[in-house]
Every structure is written in structure tokens, then in C-alpha cells.
Structure 1
């Protein structure tokens, strides 16, 4: 029997209670499953099944706890409504230290790379690192961690975390005056940035040039179904469009992304998985989630030799 709630505040509290009860004890298997009949053999041969592990569960618990901080959430709501008149939502979240994201655990990161817990490499570059919370899960595996971020407030947060912040147009340039060799990284992370940057195709080509030869790996995360949105362009539209299928089935879009975007950019898919892209919530929801596809890819020599079917 439906409950009629006439007060907007009471309705909000009740809906949040229902949301919490639905997710509090769930292992969310549906976040990680795929419809294999909609995917190519090429994609399924490289699929790795993920699940809600301990780090994911702890992040969700933190979301539930923070969402119940009534006065903090009220302060954030009022402050955000004022600050977004003067700055982007990303910078607003950075200033308020709210809205942290979760993509994958350190355990899943290693599993996708195909390395054990003792593995360590020299250089990581995390593009569009936000407040650095996701970077922190990868950082212990590297001697040096470099990050980029377009938001001035987020760059301040990243420096607070002791990451080396590079300018958004300098990360693929020679590191010193007079040097002709571009920077090179063992791993480049580009997590949920392609659909939020103005020139994603150019970005893919730039990342191709900075990976350590033979061993360099690119970690891509992409929210599907695809919606390109850019905070910094006049109409929030990208300068370059990623040509993927118009189907609303994310699996179909993923296959077309591999064929139409990733392969022409010179990358070969090694492994991939499906995870939730989680964000800390607010007074009305403990957390928010989007469907996220995480890929590990490597450069291959031109011309491409792959055929996806």
C-alpha cells in the first residue's frame, strides 16, 4: 500500500530511508554483471568479473555515515547554491571537501594490471585527478606520482596530498629546458575524463606518446551510455565527438567505442571490467552511482591489426 506524504521534507526523508535500506546490506551484484549476448567475442575474451570488495564496502559505509551529518549537509547545500554562481561545481566540491569519488579498489587495480601485491613501478600520471582520492589508491605502487587538474581548487587539494601537479598542457612535454625527450610514464590513468574534456581524441593521441615503450599501460574509465559534457566550453559541448553507437545498451556502445575510438587511436584492449562510479551523496541520497567501464590498454604499432567481431 502506497504511503501518501504531503510534506516535501517528510517525503525526502522517507525516500532517503528507503534508499538506505535498499543498499545498506546489499552486495550490488547487478553493478558488475554484463550481458554477454550484446558483446563481441573480442570484448568477452578480455572481460574480468569484479565484485563489491572490502574497499568498496568501506567507501559506501563512509557515504552512509556522512549523509547523516545533518548540519554538515545543510551547510553544504546552502554553500553550494551560493558558490556555483562564481565557480564550477567541481571547484565548489573541492572547496567544501565534498563529493569524493570511488572507481576501483587498489586490489582491483592490481588485478586489472595483472600484477601482484609486491609490484612497484616508477611513474604514474593521473589525468583529471580531482581531489586525489582515487589517485591515493594507486599511489603506493609508484615511486613518483604526477597529476593534472583543470580546477584551481582541486589543484590546491592535490598539492595538499603531496602529488606533483603538472599543467594541463605540459604533461606530455619535455621536462626540462633544452631536453628533446618527452615525459614517459609506466601507467597513465584517465578515469572518467574522456567524456568530460573538450578534445578526447586528441587526448588519446597525446597519451599514446607518453607511455613507456613495450611496458606502458593506460587505464581508461568511461561512463556508458555515453554523454559528452564539458564544463569549460561555452555551450558545454565537446570540440571533438566520440563516434559511438546511438544504442542505449551500454554493451553495444562499448563495442563501438573499441572499434571507432580506441583502435584508431592506436590502442589494444588487454582487460576490462564493469564497476559502479560512486560519488559521496548529500542530504537526499547517501551516494550516487553511474555505470562505469574500466579498461587496461596498451599501444600497438600502426597500422592496426585488430578486427573486432
Structure 2
């Protein structure tokens, strides 16, 4: 599949699923290798079709130019349906969470997707969870989420909901959030109350940018994530040790996936290197926690599947 992606688009996909440089022993022990599949190829094929349609791209560019005088880029994508994204297929999602699709029952399960955008990535989880909840600060994107049948919670008050979830996700939100620390606190609070796992993904190396800031108009968060170094591998290590651990989360496993966006006249698709972390909230003992290893988690719970 990798050779097919490179042959079709000239994309160097060798490192889409593997870090370019050596990982720390901590990160290596928790690494789960994902692989490309037919759904990944299908997204790229559809993106290539859109990119090569000159008439459509011309109309798109004119529309974006006009709308950009009034709306943010995210709102424009919400209005027009442009900028569709792809992070994982249903099969990749099931594999990462060790879901046996033969025995899995979705009827009584709830998932919450924070910062869900237009719901493209959320849709790949829908078959596993009958009840889909989402948050989104963009009004135009919220309309799209509602049109897809998702229950949209208040983006600033979601942590106060009484709903208990089987999984909470925050895809590519932590580095776009106006207060990453507050987001992690809320994730711990709700996941601990729900006794559920959390998935957090972000593009590495970390680059903060806040588009919707309830506290003002700046594009910088109130506090930057505590990561060091310049490489993808450096930031994976520091996310595990300096970010998630102090926030009372154990990293059960993590994987690397390509964060893909449909193309334009210049490129058939765009790619960013994502790290996807599966987290388990830890008990707080007088403000501190002693994280268990991934091996201890597996021995106590049997499998990730059993915790969903």
C-alpha cells in the first residue's frame, strides 16, 4: 500500500507511519505501528479528483477570497464543505483500540469528540458508538455537526455535562486550544468520572495557533505545552513525560498517522505528521499520581477493548 501511495502521488509516505528518527526508550515501548489501508487510498483518490478539476478549483478560490473578508478559515470550510480531513479509517481505529468488530455492540455506547470540526474524522467512529456527542467553537461547523445527527454540547461547558462516555477524543485540538492546561484538566475530570479512555492527537513538532479564543483575539495560548527539542521523536517523548504524566494521565500506547487534507490546484493532498495517544486517567493522591506502565494496565484490565 505504501508503494502504491508513493507511485500514485509521488508522496514520500515511508515515514507516514514511522518516526524519522530514533525514539526514546519510553516512547518506543509504547509505540503501536499503524499501516495504510484502502480507506486511506480512497481519500487520496477523491482528493486527487477534486484537485485536478480546474473549473471547481477556480470557483473554490473565488468563493474563498470573497468569504475571507467576513469569515475565519474554519467558518469558510464549514460553509462551503472545503478542506475535508482524514486521520484514520474505521479499520485503523478498531485496530488501535483492539476492538473485535464481531463481538462489539455500539447500541449503548457514547463517544464525545472535542473540537470536531465538520465531523469528517468523527464519522469514522460512528459505527462503534451509537450516540455521538461533539463540541465545536465555529458556528458554521456546529451546523454541519447537527446536520449529521450528532449532539453538540457547549464548547466551554462540556465538562459539566452529566453524560457518561465510553470514549473521549480530542483530535488536533490541544495545540489549537486557548488553554491547553485547562483542556487537560477537563479531560481528566470527565474521563475519570466516566471511567473511560481518552484519545489525544496533535501534529508534531508542536506549533501552537489559536483561531477561536474566548479570552481575547490573540493566537497564542495562555500557556505553552512543556515540550523540548526540535524533532517529532523529541516531542513524542516530552508529551508523554512532561505533558500527560503531570496531568495525571498514563499513556497506554501511541501511534503515528498521517493527518491528510484534500488538495488544491498545487497539490493533490496535504500531509502533516500526527501523533495519536491513547490515555488512561490516574487517581489523584493529594495532588499527585504514580502512573502505571502499559504492561500493568493490560494485566489489570485484560485489554483496551474491555475498558471501552
TM-score band by shorter chain is 0.7 to 0.9
Q: Is the radius of gyration larger for structure 1 or structure 2?
A: 1
SS of structure 2 residue aligned to 1:33: coil
Could you tell me how far apart the structure 1 residues matched to 2:94 and 2:68 are?
A: 37
Could you tell me how far apart the structure 2 residues matched to 1:212 and 1:254 are?
A: 24
Structure 1 residue 171 corresponds to structure 2 residue 158: yes
Could you tell me how far apart the structure 1 residues matched to 2:152 and 2:67 are?
A: 24
What number of residue pairs does the alignment pair up? 280
Hey, what does 2:248 align to over in structure 1?
A: 266
SS of structure 2 residue aligned to 1:172: helix
Structure 1 residue 226 corresponds to structure 2 residue 206: yes
SS of structure 2 residue aligned to 1:211: helix
Hey, what does 2:81 align to over in structure 1?
A: 97
Equivalent residue in structure 1 for 2:263, among 270, 276, 281: 281
SS of structure 2 residue aligned to 1:275: strand
Could you tell me how far apart the structure 2 residues matched to 1:237 and 1:27 are?
A: 32
Contact 2:249 2:291 in 1 (8 A): no
Deviation at 1:183, TM superposition (A): 2.9
Contact 2:44 2:269 in 1 (8 A): yes
1:218 to 1:293, Cα distance in 2 relative to 1, 3 A: same
Contact 1:194 1:200 in 2 (8 A): yes
**Unpaired runs of at least 5, structure 2:** 294-308
Deviation at 1:214, TM superposition (A): 8.0
Structure 1 residue 111 corresponds to structure 2 residue 95: yes
- Where do residues 193-272 of structure 1 align in structure 2 (5 Å cutoff)? 193-211=173-191, 215-233=195-213, 234-245=217-228, 247-272=229-254
Equivalent residue in structure 1 for 2:14, among 12, 22, 29: 29
Contact 2:6 2:12 in 1 (8 A): no
Deviation at 1:197, TM superposition (A): 0.9
Stretch moving more, 110-119 or 55-64: 110-119
Could you tell me how far apart the structure 1 residues matched to 2:252 and 2:62 are?
A: 45
Contact 2:75 2:141 in 1 (8 A): yes
Per-residue CA deviation, residues 190-234 of structure 1 (Å, 9 max, x unaligned), is 000001110111111101111265851101111001100001242
Structure 1 residue 88 corresponds to structure 2 residue 72: yes
SS of structure 1 residue aligned to 2:124: helix
Deviation at 1:48, TM superposition (A): 1.0
Superposition CA RMSD, Å? 2.0
Deviation at 1:52, TM superposition (A): 1.2
TM-score w.r.t. the length of structure 1 is 0.85
1:45 to 1:83, Cα distance in 2 relative to 1, 3 A: same
Could you tell me how far apart the structure 2 residues matched to 1:185 and 1:212 are?
A: 10
1:79 to 1:214, Cα distance in 2 relative to 1, 3 A: closer
1:27 to 1:284, Cα distance in 2 relative to 1, 3 A: closer
Deviation at 1:42, TM superposition (A): 2.2
Contact 1:29 1:51 in 2 (8 A): no
Per-residue CA deviation, residues 88-122 of structure 1 (Å, 9 max, x unaligned), is 10010111111011111111111111221132351
